[in-house]
């Protein structure tokens, strides 16, 4: 059974940093692109970042470029999101997802909440 | 960025009724590789989103065949043939043809 378990969320002040982790199991992690998708409270979904199988290629939405860094450790079957210079508009539930060969986000974690507030 | 416009914003249905949700894109979603990277997701209350449809009309793993997708270019439709109670929630269309991925605003399916 595919499992994606996010951790590392919490309350953080504007301008500070936070690192999210996603532990994957039940599939061959290195065979999948991975992504982070977020959802602000009572809002819709928004793609944040993606990473290739070996981590050699990364992709970001414009609003997080230069502030967020997506990475992975295939030996540990883990995905990460380093979030620096956090803003109030980054407040959201962050989901870890797999991305299949057709670009579909086919498996999702339960999500982790990040609140940016003073 | 590509804008996806979903209609209606809310749909009320009885169990067994068929419903359709429209998704219109601000640009053609036909990729140069011949694929159209249009997906549909369902987010049930307090749950993570679930993939229903990929590449416009292909059913995701384990998705019941009462769900179907159609369309091309800029106009797409998700149809549920015989709504069941477990189908209630918010439906999102998503495009992956143009960078960045973008999501529609969602269509909430409620019980009438």
| Cα within 13 Å of Cα(A27), Cβ side | 20
pLDDT averages per 10-residue partition of chain B, 112 residues: 97 96 98 97 96 98 97 98 96 97 97 87
Note whether A104 contacts B39, CB cutoff 8 Å. yes
Which residues from A are below 8 Å from B41, CB to CB?
45, 105
**A41-88 pLDDT tens trace:** 988 999 999 999 999 999 999 999 999 999 999 999 999 999 999 999
Note whether A105 contacts B51, CB cutoff 8 Å. yes
pLDDT of residue B112: 86
Share of chain A above pLDDT 70, in %: 100
Of A62, A106, A109, the CB nearest to B51: A106
Give yes or no for residue A17 having a pLDDT over 90: yes
Number of Cβ pairs < 8 A linking chain A and chain B: 56
Give yes or no for residue A91 having a pLDDT over 90: yes
**A24-36 pLDDT tens trace:** 999 999 999 999 9
Of A44, A103, A110, the CB nearest to B103: A44
Of A44, A102, A104, the CB nearest to B106: A44
**Of B34, B61, B101, B105, which to mutate for an interface test with A (greatest number of A Cβ within 10 Å)?**
B101
């Amino acid at each position: 059974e595919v499992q994606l378990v996010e951790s590392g969320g919490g309350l953080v002040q504007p301008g500070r940093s936070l690192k999210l982790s996603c532990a994957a199991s039940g599939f061959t992690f290195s065979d999948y692109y991975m992504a982070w998708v977020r959802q602000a409270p009572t809002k819709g979904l928004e793609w944040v970042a993606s990473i290739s199988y070996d981590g050699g290629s990364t992709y970001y939405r414009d609003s997080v470029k230069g502030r967020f860094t997506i990475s992975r450790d295939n030996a540990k079957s883990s995905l990460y999101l380093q979030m620096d210079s956090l803003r109030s508009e980054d407040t959201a539930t962050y989901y870890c997802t797999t991305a299949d060969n057709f670009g579909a986000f086919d498996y999702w974690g339960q999500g982790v909440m990040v609140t940016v507030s003073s | 960025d590509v804008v996806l416009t979903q209609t209606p914003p809310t749909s009320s249905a009885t169990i067994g009724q068929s419903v359709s949700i429209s998704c219109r894109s601000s640009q053609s979603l036909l990729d140069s590789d011949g694929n159209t990277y249009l997906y549909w997701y369902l987010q049930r209350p307090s749950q993570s989103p679930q993939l229903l449809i990929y590449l416009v009309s292909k059913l995701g793993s384990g998705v019941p065949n009462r769900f179907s997708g159609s369309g091309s270019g800029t106009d797409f439709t998700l149809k549920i043939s015989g709504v069941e109670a477990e189908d209630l929630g918010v439906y999102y269309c998503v495009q992956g043809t143009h960078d960045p991925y973008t999501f529609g605003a969602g269509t909430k399916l409620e019980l009438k």
